[in-house]
Amino acid sequence: MTAPAARYAAYLGLLVLGGVVGAAGALVQAAWFPLGLLLALLATAALFYGGMRATGNQVGLAAAGGGWLLAVIVLSFGRPEGDGLFGGGIGELLFLFGGMGAAVLCATVSRLPQTTP
């Protein structure tokens, strides 16, 4: 596999992994509040930072964040019958805004060292 193809495969993998972490975090934060919320936010931040470090640029963070956000948004929609995963409590809001805050913090605070070619 060539270098660009491997990089795109990593981005796709981070997108899928972001969706998995978002879905798992949505379940865990509600089940074991408040420790589940802390666990979900730590896993989210670790995924974002790890995606950036693994790919060597911030596109890895954006891919993981995009998958996470897509999963959280899709899971926040209710079904026509009225059931949904998020009940609208403080835990769900903290998970949503905390995850977005973790993405912003990872993107702005932890700059990767510049390498010379």
Q: What is the average per-residue pLDDT within 64-77?
A: 91
* Count of structural domains, the chain: 1
Percentage of residues in the chain having pLDDT higher than 90: 53
Q: Are 65 and 15 in contact (CB under 8 A)?
A: no
Range of the domain at 38: 31-76+92-106
84 falls within a domain = no
116 falls within a domain = no
Residue 16: pLDDT over 90: yes
User: The whole model's pTM is what?
Assistant: 0.86
Nearest to 39 by CA among 117, 113, 94: 94
At 114 the pLDDT is 65
Residue 70: pLDDT over 90: yes
At 101 the pLDDT is 94
25 falls within a domain = no
59 falls within a domain = yes
